[in-house]
Amino acid sequence: MARIVYIGDEATAAGYRSAGVETRVPSPAEAGEAVRLALDGRSDLVLVSATLAKSVPQALLDTALAGEWPLVELVPDLYGNGSGPDVEREVRRVLGIEP
């Protein structure tokens, strides 16, 4: 079975825990260390709250996202904070279909 780790806020972590995912809820000051520990090679997938990722040193975050193992993904929290861009809308804007 794959080892998945979620790093982020408590409310979102509760949902991941109910699905059997290992969770960590660090303070912003502890975010970098939590990510560093999750990259120890024993995890298969590391999910980092996009909101908390703002507290992770940029060099560490860039290295983690570019690495081959474990797979690291930024995810929105329970409230939708940190959602990625609306790619469909952006394509339509670039094509001049939407303002």
Q: Specify the pLDDT at position 85.
A: 55
Say if CB 64 and CB 35 are below 8 A apart.
yes
Mean pLDDT by runs of 10 across the 99 residues of the chain is 88 91 92 89 87 87 84 81 65 77
Q: Which domains does the chain have, with CATH numbers?
A: 4-94 (3.40.50.10580)
Place of tokens 């990625």: 84
Q: What is the pLDDT of residue 22?
A: 92
- Please state, as a whole number, how many other Cβ atoms lie within 10 Å of the Cβ of residue 56: 22
pTM above 0.85, yes or no: no
Q: Which of 33, 30, 39 has the alpha carbon at shortest distance from 65?
A: 39
